[in-house]
Amino acid sequence: MKKKIGIALGSGGAKGYAHLGVLKVLEKNRIPIDYMSGASSGAIVASLYSLYGNIKKVERILTDFHKVRSLIDFSFRGGIFKGEKVFNFFDDIFQGKTFKDLKIPVCIIATDYISGKEVRIKKGSVAFALRASIAVPFVLELVRYKNKELADGGLSSPVPIRALKEMGADITIGVRIEDRFDFNRKNVYSIIERAFTILQHNLSEYELSEADILLDPEFEGYGFLGIHKVIKGEIEDAIKEGERVAKKEIKNIKELIIADKVSGIYKL
C-alpha cells in the first residue's frame, strides 16, 4: 500500500522563501506530496502549492517584489498594518476558492489569541484562512472567526506535524525556519526578537520530535520577520538554503518511502 507523504511548512516571516527551495527539490525528484500543513509564511507557500501544484508558478507570484511591497497598508489600531491589501491579494489569487478546490489537501494553522490554542482550518475560504494564519500580533490586525480572535499560527504550532498525522500522513517532513541563535545586544528590539526566537524554537521541538524527516535551514540576518529582506528583494539566499537542506536529505526521504517501517527521525 502506497505510503502517504505529508510536509509541514513552518512559520518564520521572510525565511519562508526557503520553502520554495525545499519544494523545488522534492518536485525535481518526483517526491509525491499527499498532504500539506503550514503556519504563517509556511501556510502561504503550502496553499499556493496546493492550488497550482507547480513550484515555478508559486515562485513567480512570491518573487514579484513590486507587488509584494505594494501590500503594505499602515494601521493605527490593532497592528502596524491593516492587512486589507494582503487579504485582497490572496482573494485575487484564490478567486473565492475553498479548501475542497485545492489539488492537495492542506491544513492552515492559526492561534486563538484568547485561549492560546491551535486552530486548524481545513474548510471554507482559503484566502480568509491565510489572513488569520499570518496575523502576527502588533504587526497585523487580528482576525475574527467563529467568535474567536485569530492570530499567527506560529504562536501555537510553528511546524504543524500533528496536523499532518491527523490528516492521514504516514511519512511526515517538517521544515523549521529560524534565524541563527547568534545574539548581539544591540537594542530593545533585538532583545525582544531573541526572546521570540527562543520561545518558538522550544515550542516547535514538541511536534518535531514526531516528524520522520526534519529540514532545518540556517539563516543569518533575517531576524524574527525579515520584512527588510522582502522590501529589498534579497531572498535568493533563503531559496538556495531550502534547496541545500532538501538535497542533503533527499536520499533519506526516498529510503523512507520504500522502507517497510516508518520510524525514527533524520535531522541535519
Q: Coil, strand or helix: which one is 53?
A: coil
The residue type at 238 = A
Q: Coil, strand or helix: which one is 36?
A: strand
Judge whether 170 counts as a catalytic residue.
no
Rounded to 10 degrees, what is the CA torsion of 228, 229, 232, 238? 180
CA distance 77 to 2: 50
- CA nearest neighbour of 129 among 48, 183, 199, 203: 48
Judge whether 212 counts as a catalytic residue.
no
Q: Which member of 37, 40, 157, 204 is catalytic?
A: 40
CA distances 44 to 40, 41, 49, 114, 127, Å, are 7, 5, 9, 24, 9
CA distances 215 to 45, 100, 129, Å, are 16, 28, 25
| Per-residue b or e along 144-157, where b marks 16 or more CB atoms closer than 10 Å to that residue's CB | ebeebbbbbbbbbb
CA angle 3/8/14 to nearest 5° reads 150
- CA nearest neighbour of 131 among 104, 157, 149, 105: 149
Q: Which member of 34, 112, 152, 212 is catalytic?
A: 152
Name the pairing type of β-strands 118-121 and 106-112: antiparallel
Please list the active-site residues.
Answer: 40, 152
